[in-house]
Structure 1
Amino acid sequence: MPFLAAFPQIGAITELSHMRFALTNGTIYSGYTTAQGYAVLFENDKITDLVQHSEIPEGTTVIDAQGGIICPGFVDLQVNGGGGVYFTQYPTLDSLNTIRDAHLQFGTTSFLPTVISAYQERILETFSAVRKAMGQHPSTFLGMHLEGPFFSPQKPGAHDTACIRTATHEELDVLLEAGKDVLKYLTLAPECAEESILQRLVDSGIVLSAGHSMATYDQALHFFRNGVTAVTHLYNAMSGIDTKQPGLAAAALDYGQAWTGIIVDGEHCHPYAVRLAKKMLGQKLLLVSDCAACVGSDIAFTDFGNFKAYYRNGRCETEDGRLAGSALTMLQAVQNTVNLVGLELDEALRMATLYPAQVLGLEHQVGQLVPGAAANLVVLDQALQLQQVWIDGAAVPLAIGSKTV
């Protein structure tokens, strides 16, 4: 019988009640635990226990991991698109489900849909779509990451400069009300915002992340000590590590306490720079994809009207060669972190699971295989190739030869 034939599948109309599974015969990596000879028990859409293989209850359907690596589904705090769809461009529930389906093919079971700099009307549309998606698939859609529009004009990246603006209390009145319980993460240039704006955002409970910023070293330290708790795509679109005029990147490495995302695609930063960040930041460094619409698709480019983002040679770039997001999956990020950067597998997996969940305070719901957490699991073989994905206790049919860039 084919592997998936016996199991409830995503998208299928399946009654999951009283279905109990044990995923076993693999090395379990969950949080700070590594275990062999154990099984992950899950029933309906939740993890129920980790038990020794000999203690699997009678009547449980046993799933063989075939000596592979069992870990939580990947958690990505920066997903711009997938399946040929860019969420900012097409802010609908259908778009989000297309993006979800694309990323499940690469082991990402939870993420923050990310909206880049846009006019207020478009941002409000994205809030509405994400709220609906969170209601349908709460263990997948963890909220929304708004990347911009409150940036330094000197560090726009590939964002539309016409949309970049200074935050006002009037705009916050609208965004905080419309984005309540949806907007979880905001990237901004803190040096471009009034202190009263920053304090209001801190009080809202949104994770504030410094990015697309020209903050000086001293400014950045001030913001880290006063409510900015994260950094967006370290080294990219920010003031750097100049020895005479150190900026945001230098401050992030020196301070060492801000959650810091990094894009390990071999394009955004050299493996050495990742190793340096790991030595300085330890458990505060985490993987993000910052992926574009090309993940899980064979589209050649995305047309934004004012520019096109091309997908070529493993890069997502503008016509003149500037990076515009990435063509990365979290699966590839884990593989690169081990194979290119040289970090240990257990730490690479934590960077893709536990740490991003901790940023949002959701580590008991996703990012670990603990009782009560969502039954979101990934099985890799010893070469770190994807073998199985489970989402809310349902098996994901994996397309043979899934298209990546």
Structure 2
Amino acid sequence: MTSAFYNLQLITNGTIFKEKVVLVENGFVTDIIDQHQFLPDKNSINLNGAYLAPGLIDLQIYGCGNALFGGKPTVAALQEMETCLLQQGTTGFFATIATNTTEIVLQGIESAKTYRKNSIGNFLGLHLEGPFLNPKRKGAHPENLIRKAGLQELKHWFDLAEGEIKIMTIAPELQSDEVLYFLDQQNIILSAGHSNASFTEANRFLKSPVKAVTHLYNAMPQMHHRDPGFIPAIFEQKPFTSIVPDGIHVDYPMVRLAKRELGNKLFLITDAVTESSEGVYQHQLNKNHYVMPDGTLSGSALTMLKGVKNCVQFADIALAEAVNMASLYPAQMLKDETKGQIQKGSRADFIIFNADFEHLHTVFKGQFLPVKPQP
């Protein structure tokens, strides 16, 4: 059965189209036609002028709802993340585990494998942020658990993971060439973060073997006119680079600067957490962000749609381009041509929102999902 979405503003691939109708069958977009060619029927869905955009993709998030997967990585936490994030219009995400004990990392791997067969489908895999970071740029990561990577340990993790590890954030300047070569061969995205790399060091590892950068500006050396450091190397090499657009982790003038320098390589993440009173990460909500008990800034309280809104309202980024940063560019980094845009052959994963950035509906695999009122 073909469904038709009409009376909408279609956002895809950096452009907003009016007077279009999106046709969907069996979970995929089958065509996009002009509205004057279209006669509504019982399977047609009137969006009353709302925006229809690709489902959003968050490649770094620790928890949603009441479950902090990053601290207690259970199957139940993954299930709650999937359902909670679909309620927000996030149709793809990496469940993230920060620097922690080996026991927690292995628990996360086992939970991901166990849950995979029952996954709704928006859980795309694991992001391991740490523990192989630079303690000089530890941020909220516990220094006593940060360490240098060992080849045998990594081989063990990847053997166990059976493909569930999709991205790793490490400090490349502290790792051996042997480790970097191994990680480069694992069909994952190797991302540099919590790094104290110099300009010279960064230029040596960016793009090969490191393909991405984690949360630009945070947990890395500041730029200096006599000691450029990591950030100017990122701007020169232009790898895929994530940023947390909440105005707290990164102020908006710096978001604008990053956008000018990185263009279509800059993408949004939430780096979002939930409150927790147990384990290594005891996040406490402080108005509109989270801190550790000692006051150290930890995760955000963002949703991906709020990140898009912030880029438009405070960073002077056009709406269609902000949507790209939350959908198309992450999909391009993943090399997934079925996600991140709405075109013939793409997955029918959509977010529907209005001019006030209120989330109205999620469409996942072509099916409307009920949306719970936001508190």
TM range (shorter): over 0.9
Change (3 A) 1:366 1:135: farther
Aligned partner (choices 42, 47, 54) of residue 72 of structure 1: 54
Please give the secondary structure, in 2, of the residue aligned with 1:174.
Answer: helix
Please give the secondary structure, in 2, of the residue aligned with 1:286.
Answer: strand
CA positional deviation for 1:131: 2.9
Matches within 5 A, 1:212-223: 212-223=194-205
Quick check: 2:100–2:280 contact (8 Å CA) kept in 1? no
Q: Which amino acid aligns with 1:322?
A: T
Q: Which amino acid aligns with 2:266?
A: L
Answering whether residue 364 of structure 2 is matched by residue 381 of structure 1, we say no
Aligned partner (choices 294, 315, 333) of residue 341 of structure 1: 315
1:119, 1:142 → 2: CA distance? 23
Measured against aligned partners, the alpha-carbon deviations of 1:96-151 in whole angstroms (never above 9, x if no partner) come to 11112222222111111111112223212212222344433464112211111100
2:77, 2:279 → 1: CA distance? 19
| TM value normalised by structure 1 | 0.88
1:349, 1:65 → 2: CA distance? 18
Task: Name the structure 1 match of 2:142.
Answer: 160
Measured against aligned partners, the alpha-carbon deviations of 1:15-41 in whole angstroms (never above 9, x if no partner) come to xxx3x2111111111124432211111
Measured against aligned partners, the alpha-carbon deviations of 1:296-348 in whole angstroms (never above 9, x if no partner) come to xxxxx312445631112101112332211111110110000000111100100
Answering whether residue 310 of structure 2 is matched by residue 329 of structure 1, we say no
Answering whether residue 373 of structure 2 is matched by residue 391 of structure 1, we say no
Quick check: 1:134–1:142 contact (8 Å CA) kept in 2? no
Aligned partner (choices 178, 183, 186) of residue 168 of structure 2: 186
2:242, 2:341 → 1: CA distance? 19
Task: Name the structure 2 match of 1:118.
Answer: 100
1:102, 1:223 → 2: CA distance? 37
Aligned partner (choices 85, 89, 93) of residue 75 of structure 2: 93
Q: Which amino acid aligns with 1:391?
A: F
Quick check: 2:92–2:122 contact (8 Å CA) kept in 1? yes
Quick check: 1:241–1:250 contact (8 Å CA) kept in 2? yes
CA positional deviation for 1:271: 0.6
Change (3 A) 1:41 1:128: farther
Matches within 5 A, 1:113-152: 113-137=95-119, 139-152=121-134
Task: Name the structure 2 match of 1:26.
Answer: 8
Quick check: 1:22–1:56 contact (8 Å CA) kept in 2? no
Matches within 5 A, 1:291-302: 291-293=272-274, 301-302=275-276
CA positional deviation for 1:175: 1.3
Quick check: 1:184–1:360 contact (8 Å CA) kept in 2? no
Change (3 A) 1:307 1:389: closer
Change (3 A) 1:63 1:285: same
2:31, 2:207 → 1: CA distance? 39
Identity of aligned residues (%): 34
Task: Name the structure 2 match of 1:370.
Answer: 343
Quick check: 2:71–2:280 contact (8 Å CA) kept in 1? no
Q: Which amino acid aligns with 1:151?
A: L
Answering whether residue 26 of structure 2 is matched by residue 44 of structure 1, we say yes
| TM value normalised by structure 2 | 0.95
Aligned partner (choices 247, 262, 273) of residue 243 of structure 2: 262
Measured against aligned partners, the alpha-carbon deviations of 1:123-182 in whole angstroms (never above 9, x if no partner) come to 122122223444334641122111111001111111222321110111111012122321
Quick check: 1:314–1:327 contact (8 Å CA) kept in 2? yes
Answering whether residue 90 of structure 2 is matched by residue 108 of structure 1, we say yes
Task: Name the structure 1 match of 2:287.
Answer: 313
1:325, 1:124 → 2: CA distance? 22
Matches within 5 A, 1:221-236: 221-236=203-218
Task: Name the structure 2 match of 1:296.
Answer: none
- What are the ranges of 5 or more consecutive residues in structure 2 without an aligned counterpart? none
Task: Name the structure 2 match of 1:355.
Answer: 329
Q: When the two structures are aligned, how many residues end up with a matched partner?
A: 375
Q: Which amino acid aligns with 2:186?
A: S
Task: Name the structure 1 match of 2:256.
Answer: 275
Measured against aligned partners, the alpha-carbon deviations of 1:271-298 in whole angstroms (never above 9, x if no partner) come to 10000001100000010000002xxxxx
Q: Which amino acid aligns with 1:158?
A: A
1:153, 1:250 → 2: CA distance? 21
2:370, 2:339 → 1: CA distance? 21
- What are the ranges of 5 or more consecutive residues in structure 1 without an aligned counterpart? 1-17, 294-300
Aligned partner (choices 284, 290, 293) of residue 271 of structure 2: 290
Quick check: 1:42–1:393 contact (8 Å CA) kept in 2? yes
Task: Name the structure 2 match of 1:11.
Answer: none
